[in-house]
């Protein structure tokens, strides 16, 4: 299966105008620099929601618990404001918003389960929040939906295309099982390793092609998925340092999040990728 360029063409015309002053005989080094700058710019645009949300976590790290407005409530209102701004300035399209909202709901449900007293995988220090579902402050869902927001936007900005894309049914089954395992592994066998190996098999032959402004580049899709998972793991370390949430071993002081969590993010990010892929697959069929 191949996802073609018809997914989104709105950004393409700007590509030529951005580089129209580059001579055709430009040295390879100069072209590479321009490619890198263009690529970095698109990456920043794609993850603007996550960057601004992370900035909010850091700026409120020393929030006074005695303040009338709880930190978690401020972060929720702040995230809502960011989301409205992204929609108003057309950073996100209608179909992308649906996926992001769905991912938000799935993540909030998982948060409620993981932070419940009987599970206690992690916790949110701010207990005085009004905007919460039981022990989960509502801003938590935005931490996950920022991942879906990034994938949806970078897919469009870099004009993703795929070669040897696996059968959609296989990707959906993988995503469903990965999500279910976040709940079931507390009571039955943890199938995380089999799921990771299954993802390697499913996506092994798939190559991702994307634009860098002047030309197309390609790489194995698995490399891209792992690279994004690594960045999310780094962002999680930043989030726990800002004490937006903490793991049991961080209550006495911040510690690096275990690399074991990298694979959890890999599976959750794969779920987000599959959700976004279903939107683009539907567009191709219309």
Q: Over the stretch 110-125, which tens digit does the pLDDT of each residue have? A: 999 999 999 999 999 8
Output the pLDDT for position 284.
64
Output the pLDDT for position 7.
36
| Contact residues for 93 (Cβ-Cβ < 8 A; gap 6+) | 152, 156
> What would the pLDDT profile of 176-202 be if each residue is shown by its tens digit?
999 999 999 999 999 999 999 999 999
Output the pLDDT for position 95.
72
Output the pLDDT for position 162.
95
Output the pLDDT for position 254.
93
CA–CA separation, 225 and 267 (whole Å): 9
CA–CA separation, 45 and 96 (whole Å): 15
Element (H, E) at 102: helix 94-114
The structure tokens 């063409």 sit at: 9
Q: Nearest CA to 140 among 119, 126, 154, 120? A: 126
Burial grade of 68 (CB within 10 A; 0-12, 13-18, 19 or more): exposed
> What would the pLDDT profile of 37-53 be if each residue is shown by its tens digit?
999 999 999 999 999 99
Residues of the chain with pLDDT under 70: 1-27, 127, 282-286
CA–CA separation, 132 and 19 (whole Å): 48
CA–CA separation, 172 and 271 (whole Å): 8
Q: What would the DSSP string read from start to end of 155-205?
A: HHHTT-EEESPPPHHHHHHHHHHHHHHHHHTTTS---HHHHHHHHHHHHTT
The structure tokens 């897919």 sit at: 155
Output the pLDDT for position 11.
36
Q: Nearest CA to 143 among 188, 82, 185? A: 82
Output the pLDDT for position 16.
41
Output the pLDDT for position 161.
95
Output the pLDDT for position 285.
59
Output the pLDDT for position 111.
92
CA–CA separation, 271 and 277 (whole Å): 10
Output the pLDDT for position 93.
78
Alpha-carbon radius of gyration of the chain: 20
How far are the Cα atoms of 174, 178, 179 from residue 194, in angstroms, in the given order? 10, 10, 14
């Amino acid at each position: 299966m191949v996802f073609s360029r018809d997914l989104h063409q709105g950004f393409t015309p700007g590509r030529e105008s951005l580089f129209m002053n580059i001579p055709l005989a430009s040295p390879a080094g100069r072209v590479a620099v321009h490619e890198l700058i263009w690529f970095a710019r698109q990456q920043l645009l794609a993850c603007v929601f996550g960057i601004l949300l992370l900035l909010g976590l850091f700026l409120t790290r020393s929030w006074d618990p005695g303040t009338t407005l709880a930190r978690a409530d401020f972060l929720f209102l702040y995230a809502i404001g960011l989301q409205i701004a992204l929609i108003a300035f057309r950073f996100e399209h209608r179909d992308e918003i649906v996926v992001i909202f769905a991912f938000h709901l799935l993540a909030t449900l998982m948060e409620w389960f993981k932070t419940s007293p009987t599970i206690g995988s992690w916790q949110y220090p701010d207990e005085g929040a009004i905007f919460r579902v039981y022990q989960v402050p509502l801003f938590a869902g935005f931490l996950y939906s920022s991942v879906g927001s990034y994938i949806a936007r970078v897919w469009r900005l870099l004009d993703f295309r795929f070669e040897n894309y696996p059968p959609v049914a296989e990707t959906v089954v993988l995503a469903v099982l990965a999500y279910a395992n976040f709940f079931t592994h507390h009571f039955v066998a943890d199938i995380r390793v089999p799921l990771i190996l299954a993802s390697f098999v499913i996506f092994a032959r798939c190559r991702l092609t994307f634009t860098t402004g002047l030309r197309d580049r390609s790489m194995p899709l698995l490399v891209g998925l792992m690279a994004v998972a690594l960045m999310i793991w780094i962002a999680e370390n930043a989030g726990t340092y800002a004490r937006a949430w903490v793991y049991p071993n961080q209550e006495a002081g911040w510690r690096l999040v275990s690399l074991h969590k990298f694979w959890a993010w890999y599976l959750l990010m794969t779920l987000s990728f599959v959700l976004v892929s279903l939107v683009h697959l539907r567009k191709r069929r219309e």
